[in-house]
């Protein structure tokens, strides 16, 4: 099963939710599971949870928008790490 990490701006949350609906059949069939920061539970450290799931992801989906590009966290941390992982193969 492939794990998909959603990197997105919170302003685009409704679009991320809609994308998850489109992926629902792949989830039901056991081909994928998805993760995004709204799955961080109370008491978890935000940065550690994101970093852990970003490193473990098989697929990183960058939901690029103007809000994504304006976000320091999305652009400077998540996207940069995704590009590093891509270059490493």
Structure letter (DSSP) for residue 29: T
* Token couple for 5: 């990490």
Those residues with Cβ within 8 angstroms of residue 19's Cβ, 6 or more apart along the chain or in another chain: 6, 61, 63
pLDDT-derived band of residue 49, with 50, 70 and 90 as boundaries?
Answer: very high
Point out which residues pair with 2 in neighbouring strands.
32
Q: Which alpha helices (DSSP H) does the chain contain, by range?
A: 13-22, 24-28, 46-56, 66-70, 72, 80-88
Residues 13-47 have pLDDT tens digits of 999 999 999 999 999 999 999 999 999 999 999 99
State the average pLDDT over residues 53-69. 97
pLDDT of 89 reads 84
Task: Kindly report the pTM of this predicted structure.
Answer: 0.92
């Amino acid at each position: 099963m492939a794990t998909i990490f959603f990197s997105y701006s919170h302003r685009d949350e409704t679009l991320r939710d809609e994308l998850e609906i489109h992926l629902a059949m792949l989830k039901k069939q056991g081909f994928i599971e998805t993760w995004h920061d709204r799955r961080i539970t109370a008491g978890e450290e935000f940065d550690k949870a994101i970093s852990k799931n970003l490193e473990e992801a098989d697929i990183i989906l960058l939901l690029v928008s103007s809000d994504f590009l304006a976000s320091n966290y999305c652009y400077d941390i998540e996207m940069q790490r995704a590009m590093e992982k891509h270059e490493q193969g």
